[in-house]
Amino acid sequence: MRRLAGPAAVAIAVTAIWIGNSALWTYNLTLVGAYAIVVIGLNILLGYAGLVSFAQTAFMAVGGYAVAILAVEHAVNPWLGLLLGLVLAGVAAALIGLVLFRLRGHYLTMASFALAMSAFGYATAAVGFTGGSVGIAGVPPLSIGSFTFTDPSHAYLLVWLLVGLCAWAGVRARDSHVGRAWRTIADNEDVAFSLGLPVLRYKIIAFVIAAVMGALGGALYVNFTSYVNPELYAPAIIVNIFLMLFLGGKGHTLGPILGAAIVVIVPLQIAGLSDIQAILFGITLLVLILVLPGGLLDAASWRALAAPVRRLRSRERNAPAAPVKALAGRARR
């Protein structure tokens, strides 16, 4: 069932958009799909391997700027630019991981955050290369022969097919011997060392997969919107990506997809409440995270939430028994 969850969600999403035929929903759900790919990569790194990294936006920037710079300034085919962005992100993640994952705990977290902020700062400062805060516009859409993905519904279909492929790949990786090693490392890294597992190698594998998916999501976002600038990789985006994962449920196949849908779609639906939109949305998310710490798809969190209700009902069922026994004893006396 876990292996079928990702493809089933994609099939439902594709069917729904073709039936609804709404340009606005097509656009918004395409953005959801691009972010879902990024969060699926983070889910592999954090949900399976237990490694906290804020560097996903850095690899999103690698994929997005690779497509934009190569296609706009050097007239390279967007597919080739996307592929080069994925390769560059993977190689960079492997090299960075050799140094980064010798750290543990909050040192690793802060180092990954510094990496994300460095990418954001470079994209803003390197005006001659990245366009600075203005960015790069006019990124051409992907195409296959004479067929181009300029129609929003075609881009939507492509993005969600890739979401299904990434979700399926994540499940296959989780159920492999590599996934078992990740879960061992997440439970107790010292135990993994004692079992003879090459811990650094497995950490780097998770980091590379997450980086490639981050670059893929970033590249698809830029191809679809035809524009890139540093604000797409700002610190607020880092927070949103983690929020998507924790809201949906880390370690769950559909968690990244559900979380991305909520964080992207809900603010658009309550945009009319302009004065209190941010406060209302923030309070709602805070409450959800507090009452369901494992995410919306975590069964254990729902059971813990329902436990007080079950205990109260049990007390109500047992409460009348004591008075009845007391009355029966008095009648006998």
Burial grade of 195 (CB within 10 A; 0-12, 13-18, 19 or more): exposed
Tokens matching residue 141: 């859409």
CA distance 46 to 2: 18
User: Which residues face 147 on adjacent strands?
Assistant: 144
Phi, psi of 234 (to 5 degrees): -75, 165
Report in angstroms the alpha-carbon separations of 19 from 34, 150, 219.
21, 20, 27
Contacts with 63 (C-beta within 8 Å, 6 or more apart), sequence order: 82, 85, 86, 89, 214, 215, 216, 217, 218, 219, 222
Q: Which amino acid is present at 22?
A: S
Task: Return the SS3 of 250.
Answer: coil
Burial grade of 25 (CB within 10 A; 0-12, 13-18, 19 or more): middle
Q: pLDDT means per 10 residues in the chain (333 residues)?
A: 62 62 81 94 93 94 95 91 95 94 87 93 90 91 80 85 90 91 91 90 95 96 93 91 91 89 82 64 78 80 75 69 52 54
Other CB atoms within 10 Å distance of the CB of residue 224: 22
CA distance 232 to 70: 18
Q: Please check whether residue 79 is in contact with residue 287, taking contact to mean a CB–CB distance below 8 angstroms.
A: no
Going by C-alpha positions, the residue among 37, 45, 6 that lies closest to residue 182 is 45
Burial grade of 262 (CB within 10 A; 0-12, 13-18, 19 or more): buried
Q: Please check whether residue 15 is in contact with residue 168, taking contact to mean a CB–CB distance below 8 angstroms.
A: no
End-to-end CA distance of the chain: 62
Tokens matching residue 296: 């919306």
The continuous run of DSSP H or E covering 239 comes out as helix 235-248
The continuous run of DSSP H or E covering 308 comes out as helix 299-318
| pLDDT number for residue 327 | 47
Q: Which amino acid is present at 40?
A: I
- Answer positive or negative: Cα dihedral of 215, 221, 224, 230: negative
Tokens matching residue 212: 């490639």
pTM: 0.87
Report in angstroms the alpha-carbon separations of 325 from 41, 252, 315.
61, 49, 16
